Amino acid sequence: MFSSTFGPWSLFTDLGLIFGLLLVGKFIRVKVKFIQQLFIPPSLIAGFLGLAMGPNGLGWLPFSNQLGTYSAILIALVFASLPLSSPKFSFKEVSGRVGSIWAYAQLGMLLQWSIVGLFGLFVLKLIWPDLNSAFGLMLPTGFYGGHGTAAAVGSAFEGLGWDEARSLGMTTATVGVVMAIIFGLIFVKMAAKKNETLFIKDFSELPNDLRTGLTPKEKREPAGMSTTSSISIDSLAFHLALVFFTAFIGYLLSQGVKSVYPKLELPVFSCSFIIGLILKKIFDKYNVSDYICPVQTTRLSGTFTDLLVAFGVASIQLSIVVKYAVPLIILIIFGSFTVWVITFYLGKRLLKDSWFERSIFAWGWWTGTMAMGIALLRIVDPKMESKALDDYALAYLPIAPIEIMVITFAPILFVNGMGFWFLITLFILSILILLLAKKMKWLHKV
């Protein structure tokens, strides 16, 4: 009934199975109280089910042999959609309004990559000499970046000869999502008892719709505006076309660079992001952006992310996880402690207003995904009175290019023996940002 040769119907089968698992995951989230209390997203549940019952588990579900390839395609679509929905901004605006939050968020990225990467290079590799030099990067790859970055970096390393990277990155990303919620809830309960939360006094105040994930009628919001007439082209089809076309041109750019410089493996997602920025600039100039609905492109990005998580977790090769179990556990423990220190030590000193609300968002973001950060933020700030999300969105705009560069060049530099200098550069940049924060009087004593 199911062909062993990959083709269009194999793709249809894979999508049918993963969407079916997403529905099962959503049903479990709605009905199982324990899952609600942990805020585990349906996409992660679907991934676990796919891992358990798919080809890497019991073999009950007839997924194709391309299960691990979808993540690289989906992350390209996610990054292609980001510039299309981004607003215009100026660095002056960022510096004036959210300079301290920019410094905090930028440090959260650079310190996690540099400190944990150096730990892997000089501690874990000393104990296990056969480990890949970039083994330490698998923690920030999964924690800070989530499953999307794990797919991107893992695919880049696979193209450069390290086939185990994607499974390791997906594993840390999965652990990170679970840790983001479990420890995040613990931190929220502790902060509420200490009266460190500004907008809730009791954890039991949390509305039920956040637990089940089902939005009641009075709280439902539009999923976007139709910017084209359906008599010509449906608005959703128009936005899908923009995203897929952008990602496709990014793929062609990546392949073109590789054909000219075989040793330079530019990830497709990076090229897609660059093409997206170029197109956005052109669209802004010729008023095409007036017909691009940011809400629709954001929804598409969210859809691709849900699929990415589900496919990514389902494609984890358990044999690789078992093979590196001990150094992986040590890496996760050290990395988690490092992120905890960065998040709350710097949070108290750089974030003057609503420091805990902004810090708990960062914890969810830097260990899991931005969606986990939003979930935790909504717990401590149900009405979004802190404006934390607005400020983070503005501060992230100048951070995004740096993140893209880090993700793009990390595999290339490590494979070419320049990993140490790459990590030291990130650490030096962190020190410079701290000095800037002190000069700008963003740092304050607790």
Question: Is the residue at 380 inside a domain?
Answer: yes
User: Which pLDDT score, from 0 to 100, does residue 325 have?
Assistant: 94
- Residue 282's CATH number: 1.20.1530
- Please give the structure tokens belonging to residue 351: 């974030």
Per the structure, the complete domain to which residue 116 belongs is given by: 8-214+234-439
Domain count, the chain: 1
User: For position 329, what pLDDT does the model report?
Assistant: 96
Confidence at residue 166, expressed as pLDDT on a 0 to 100 scale: 87
Closest CA to 245 of 207, 272, 213: 272
Residue 82 has a pLDDT of 78
Instruction: Report yes or no on 260 lying in a domain.
Output: yes
Residue 398: exposure state from Cβ atoms within 10 A (0-12, 13-18, ≥19): middle
Task: Report d(CA 429, CA 347) in Å as an integer.
Answer: 19
Assigned domain for 2 exists? no
Beta strands in 237-387 (DSSP E): none
Let me know if residue 227 belongs to a domain. Answer: no
For 231, list phi and psi in degrees, rounded to 5.
-70, -20
DSSP-based helix, strand, coil % in the chain, nearest 5:
75, 0, 25
The reply to whether 84 falls in a domain is yes
Q: What is the pLDDT at residue 16? A: 94
As given in the structure block, the two tokens for residue 401 are: 């290019």
Q: Is residue 44 part of a domain?
A: yes
pLDDT of residue 84: 82
**Smallest Cα–Cα separation from 170: which of 185, 157, 153?**
153
Joined together, the tokens standing for residue 153 give 């970096």
Would residue 161 count as lying in a domain? yes
Residues in Cβ contact with 357 at an 8 Å cutoff, skipping those fewer than 6 apart: 197, 198, 199, 377, 380, 381, 386, 388
Is 219 a domain residue? no
- CB burial of 52-90 (b: ≥16 within 10 Å; e: otherwise) equals ebbbbbeeebebbeebbbbbbbbbbbbbbbbbbbbeeee
Q: Note down pLDDT in tens along the chain; length 446 residues.
A: 566 577 888 889 999 999 999 999 999 988 888 887 777 788 889 988 998 999 888 889 999 888 878 877 887 888 788 788 776 655 555 555 578 889 999 999 999 999 999 999 999 999 999 999 999 999 999 998 777 788 888 888 887 788 899 889 989 988 988 888 889 888 988 888 888 777 766 655 566 666 676 777 777 777 777 877 778 888 888 899 999 999 999 999 988 887 887 766 677 877 888 898 889 888 888 888 888 888 888 888 888 888 888 888 888 888 888 999 999 999 999 999 999 999 999 999 998 778 889 999 899 889 977 767 777 877 787 666 777 766 776 677 678 788 888 988 899 899 889 999 999 999 999 999 999 999 988 888 77
Query: For the packed helices 294-314 and 235-260, what is the interaxial angle rounded to 10 degrees?
Result: 60
